[in-house]
Amino acid sequence: MGQEIPTSNFTENDFDVFAEKLQAETQLLAEYFRNDRFCSLHNVGGFEIEAWLVDDRALPCPINDRFLQALNNPMVVMELSRFNIELNVPPQILRDRALRTLHSDIEATWNHCREVATGMNADLMTIGIHPAVTDDQLCLANMSFSPRYTALNEQVLSQRRGRPLVLDIQGREHLDVRHYDVMLEAATTSFQIHLQVRPEKAVRAINAASIVSAPLLAMSANSPYLFGHDLWDESRIPLFEQSVDDGSTCKRVSFGRDYIHDSLLTCFEQNLGDFPALLPMDMNTPAEKFAHLRLHNGTVWRWNRPLIGFGDDDTVHLRVENRVVPSGPTLNDMIANAVFFWGLTRSLTDQDVAPESCMDFTTARENFYRAARDSLDCELRWLDGRIYPVRKLIIDQLIPLARAGLVNLEVNAADCDHYLEIIRERTKTGRNGAAWQRGFVLRHGRDMQVLSRAYLEQQHTGIPVHEWPL
């Protein structure tokens, strides 16, 4: 959940004070790494689901302020736009029946959200990009009532010296748009997966997350359309990268520059040195709370990024956040995606030979963008140096690898099989969310409202997307 701030008005002194506190907290974090002062609890999983509020025509409905007030649930919070919300679950240690617990928890929250939305003649949709959202709807009038988002918009535009944001995506078709605020980001809704890790395994875990991001994205793509244009299978990737470009040399949304070699501290030091503050709020807290460091880290959106968090006992822990997966299509699909990620990451983290020594970072990054463009039709270069059709790679190698990682976690075997079977069948059929959307348009024509309504109807069945009819 994004960290809220009380104001969007900043002075030059605010930036100076923030810079001092950010530097002090980064230095303190370095001491934590040197002296191993992190919580040892690990293999804790969780996730966040970003969703769209839609009206009775399945079109974006900007009512999240009224909706959240009526819902009154601290696990559901606002997002950038008034037609988006974020659902959270209590994290679970990944063992025994944790997967079913996570599913039950999010299903209860989801059902409550839908019940409240129904009372407002609205509904919820989980999809990477709403196919019927228009450029006109992504405007400041539809920005959530939050000083954080107001400040984010003002500071990005200030860094750009008033120059418009440029959205230029060459996919199956070409989209070229100029936009004068950060609301383009509101069109991107994600399923963000978290994994709490041991400090001594943290570097291996985040590098593993980078390596598995390509097949994970290929299997889960769900964002082929934007403003009526047929673009990448996961157009959310270039859209997000371009929608908050503040003009700095280092991009705030990126796959990264390299693997992490020594410590996750590297990422926080890069944040300090390479990215100007967008939210220079004096949090008036002790350095040990890392409030300024965490706020600043929240404005650097690596597709795999480290997070600093606190447990119930106030001890500091390390998490890896994977941001590559789009929202949707169903809860079953999303939890299967998380299970695939957790299993693969655990397996690669535990291998005797670090996988990052077998695949250079450039290859991992090229794989990622290849998967974003062509998802289950792409080819990837894997750890043995060979190039595989991604569907063959997932079925022959990665599902068994994910299962082995889940066995090591001692997760209930039947639960593992249930979710990995969803991954297998989705891969075999070649029908992820992007393929279903394109197949529907091919059969019924390019009416994005009709597509949205059909998608929403299928989503409510709860049946995984590979079983959806066209």
Q: Is residue 101 part of a domain?
A: yes
The pLDDT assigned to 8 comes to 63
Mean pLDDT of 8-30: 94
Interatomic CA distance for residues 320 and 270, integer angstroms? 17
Question: Worst-scoring range by mean pLDDT, 145-154, 323-332, 391-400, 423-432?
Answer: 145-154
pLDDT, residue 52, reads 98
Q: Note down the domain range covering 171.
A: 12-467
DSSP assignment letter at 395: I
Query: Which residues are bridge partners to 190 per DSSP?
Result: 326
The CATH number linked to 446 is 3.30.590.20
Flag whether pLDDT at 258 surpasses 70.
Answer: yes
Residue matched to tokens 């197949």: 439
Distance (Å, rounded) from C-alpha 433 to C-alpha 288? 43
Give the separation between CA 264 and CA 396, rounded to whole angstroms. Answer: 32
What CA–CA distance (Å, rounded) separates 199 from 455? Answer: 42
Q: Are 206 and 355 in contact (CB under 8 A)?
A: no
CA–CA distance, 422 with 340 (Å, rounded to integer): 10
* pLDDT range class, residue 1, cuts 50, 70, 90: very low
Closest CA to 271 of 299, 237, 240: 299
pLDDT of residue 246: 87
Tell me: pLDDT of 391 over 60: yes
Say what the pLDDT of residue 29 is: 98
Residue 264 has pLDDT above 50, yes or no: yes
Tell me which DSSP letter residue 223 carries.
B
pLDDT at 137 over 60: yes
Give helix 413-429 / helix 399-409 axis angle, nearest 10°: 160
Rounded CA-CA distance 220/84 in Å is 20
With respect to residue 460, please indicate whether it lies within any of the assigned structural domains. Answer: yes
Residue type, 37: R
Q: Report whether pLDDT(211) > 60.
A: yes
Round to the nearest angstrom and report the end-to-end CA distance of the chain: 35
Please state the domain count of the chain: 1
Model pLDDT, residue 247: 84
Q: With H, G, I as helix, E, B as strand and everything else as coil, classify residue 312.
A: coil
Alpha-carbon distances, residue 304 vs 208, 365, 406, 449 (angstroms)? 10, 12, 21, 33
Residue 444, pLDDT score: 98
CA distances from 196 to 106, 205, 262, 264, 345 (A): 19, 10, 18, 13, 12
pLDDT exceeds cutoff 50 at 187: yes
What pLDDT, on the 0 to 100 scale, is given for residue 3? 61
Percent of the chain with pLDDT over 90: 93
CA distance 316 to 290: 10
209 has pLDDT over 60? yes
Domain contains 373:
yes
In this structure, the number of other CB atoms found within 10 A of the CB of residue 161 comes to 7
Mean pLDDT of 145-170: 91
Interior CA angle at 175 toward 451 and 236, to 5°? 60
What's the average model confidence in pLDDT over 337-354?
Answer: 97
Most confident of the following: 96-105, 144-153, 243-252: 96-105
Range 209-214 average pLDDT? 98
**String of DSSP letters for 16-73:** HHHHHHHHHHHHHHHHHHHTT-S-----EEEEEEEEEEE-TTS-B---HHHHHHHH--
Q: What is the mean pLDDT of residues 307-330?
A: 94
pTM exceeds 0.85:
yes
Bridge partner residues of 308 (DSSP): 318
Average pLDDT of the chain is 96
pLDDT of residue 6: 64
Is 4 part of a structural domain of the chain? no
Question: Is residue 2 in a domain?
Answer: no
